Amino acid sequence: MTPIPDRLSVRQAQERILASLPERILESEKVPLSQSNGRTLAENIVSPIDVPAFNSAAMDGFAFNATSIDCSKDQSLKIVGHAYAGHPFTEPLSTGECIQIMTGAVVPDDCDTVIQQEDVHFPDSSHIAFPAMAATSGDNIRPVGEDMKKGALMLKAGTQLKPQHLGLLASVGMAEVPVFRRLSVAVFSTGDELCPIGKPLEAGKIYDSNRFILIGLLEQLGCDVVDMGIIEDSPEKLEQALKKAAQKADAIITSGGVSVGAADYTKQVMAKLGGIDFWSVRMRPGRPMAFGKILSGNRETVLFGLPGNPVAAMVSFLFFVKNALLVLMGTAPQYPQPITAISSTDIRKKTGRTEFQRGFTHFQDGRLHVSLTGNQGSGIIQSLTDADCIICLPEDQGNVETGNPVEIFLMDSLL
């Protein structure tokens, strides 16, 4: 690793993290398609069949051969049969004949056109008639392989499967898909003041909330979470916990203890166990962050030591950890697009650091506006729960006045 500047910009920290991830490919496994939502494809997928596998009617109507009649003149055709979806009509047709056909039914080989039901009239119960130029050869037929050609590359390795991907895979009959195994991530909170939920709060203690934020975020990403609870502010306990985590998981996320307080042991213990960088990032909330690897035997486990304040921990996860985990999972990092909104309030902002303030949006006069969610202290979790976006104020930005444009990331695009 190149020497670390004293304080990194957000962009520098993001780039350094992605550049120093170990190049390790997770083992793959086959899972039933119904259990593959959110998983990462381990192989390119080539279509085993044509979809549709037959020429298929795109409309309810009547199928006939338009090249054997003169469609530039009024026409009348005799109805000689019916084709329903799943029930083909298999007898030959002669010139001047048609069949009634339903959407999704097989178009017989000797037909090349489907005319919509709405475009014909019925001179009697066994005939249809339609005017000159109402039909052209090829109308309303979905040809073999229109959706997907046999042998075509459908999805690339590394794709994170979403419902639409499952639909595509089902459409070619794939019952099982090759995916990478889930990334396992160990999580613990550090701090003597932390009390687990379910216990009465003693004087001077607070409930451990970070772990629930982080576990929720990890589950949403599709990771296997190893919940290691709360670890005291003790170098020995911390060392034990980190060693155990390194054996169990592909990555470790801790919160708290990475600052410069007298009980902030995380740094020294991490340094002892591996190659750890301690960073101060020019951002708020956030700032202190540890990143590196714990070495045990020939195993390398990536470690993120996040700040203790809950808002800082969540923001740091979203802007630094998430993309690193995506890469470790075998998929691509995500770069949500910021959108511009008009600030409905004055915002105090110091230059020289990126600030991630929590906001909520509303439309007014056809434009997107954003307000702050009250007190922006880095411990105030309600500033996150009231928010539908993060307002991202760049380093060189000073105070924002009401009516000024700001860049926001919708919360849903970050999660």
Residues near Mg ion (CB under 5 A) = 191, 256-257, 308
- Shortest distance, CB of residue 308 to Mg ion, whole angstroms? 5
What's the chain's Rg over C-alpha atoms?
Answer: 31
> What is the per-residue burial (b if ≥16 Cβ within 10 Å, else e) of 191-216?
beebbeeeeeeeeeeeebbbbebbbe
By C-beta, is 256 or 286 nearer to Mg ion?
256
Name the residue with tokens 């979470």: 225
Place of tokens 């329903």: 84
Helices (H), 222-338: 235-248, 266-273, 310-316, 322-328
Distance CA(284)–CA(289), nearest Å, equals 12
Q: Give me the residue whose beta carbon is nearest to ligand AMP.
A: 308
Q: From Mg ion, ligand AMP, none, which one binds at residue 255 (CB under 5 to 8 Å depending on kind)?
A: ligand AMP
Kindly give the residue spans of alpha helices, DSSP state H, lying in 144-194.
163-171
Residue 12 burial by CB count (10 A; 0-12/13-18/19+): exposed, middle or buried?
middle
Q: Which of 61, 256, 274, 359 binds ligand AMP (CB under 6 A)?
A: 256
Residue 14's nearest CA partner among 234, 221, 315 is 315
- Complex with ligand AMP: residue 83 or 380, whichever CB lies closer: 380
194 binds ligand AMP (CB under 6 A): yes
Contact with ligand AMP (CB under 6 A): which of 76, 184, 209, 345? Answer: 209
Q: 214-253 mask for ligand AMP (x: CB under 6 A)? A: ----------------------------------------
Scan residues 289-318 and list those touching ligand AMP (CB under 6 A).
307-310
Quote the least distance from Cβ 283 to ligand AMP, whole Å: 15
Q: CA–CA separation, 316 vs 288, rounded Å?
A: 10
Residue 46 site contact among ligand AMP, Mg ion, none (CB < 5 to 8 Å, cut-off depends on kind): none
- How many whole angstroms separate alpha carbon 110 and alpha carbon 112? 7
What is the x/- site pattern for ligand AMP, positions 20-39, by CB under 6 A?
A: --------------------
Q: Minimum CB separation from Mg ion for residue 270, in Å?
A: 14
**Rounded least distance, CB 263 to ligand AMP, Å:** 7
Picked from Mg ion, ligand AMP, none, the partner binding residue 194 (CB below 5 to 8 A depending on kind) is: ligand AMP
Beta bridge partners, 357, equal 391
Q: Residue 189's binding partner, choosing from ligand AMP, Mg ion, none, with beta-carbon cut-off 5 to 8 A by kind?
A: ligand AMP
In three-state secondary structure terms, 76 is strand
Residue 309: name its binding partner from Mg ion, ligand AMP, none (Cβ under 5 to 8 Å by kind).
ligand AMP
**Of the candidates 32, 410, 327, 335, which has an alpha carbon nearest to the alpha carbon of residue 160?**
327
Backbone angles phi, psi at 196, to 5 degrees: -70, 150
Binding segment for ligand AMP among 39-47, 152-160, 259-267, 316-324 (CB under 6 A)?
259-267
Judged by CB under 6 A, which of 208, 277, 300, 355 binds ligand AMP? 208
Half-sphere exposure of 250 (CA within 13 A, CB side): 22
255 lies in the binding site for ligand AMP (CB under 6 A): yes
Work out whether 191 is an interface residue with ligand AMP (CB under 6 A).
Answer: yes
* Residues 123, 137: Cα–Cα separation, whole Å: 23
Number of residues that bind ligand AMP (CB under 6 A): 20
Note whether 165 and 64 are within 8 A (CB): no
Phi–psi pair at 95, nearest 5 degrees: -55, 135
Which CB, 55 or 189, lies closer to ligand AMP?
189
Question: Of 25-33, 48-56, 121-129, 205-213, which part binds ligand AMP (CB under 6 A)?
Answer: 205-213
Question: Burial letters for 225-255: b for 16+ Cβ neighbours within 10 Å, e otherwise?
Answer: bbebebbebeeeebbebbebbbeebbbbbbb
Residue ranges binding ligand AMP (CB under 6 A): 189, 191, 193-194, 206, 208-211, 255-259, 261, 264, 307-310
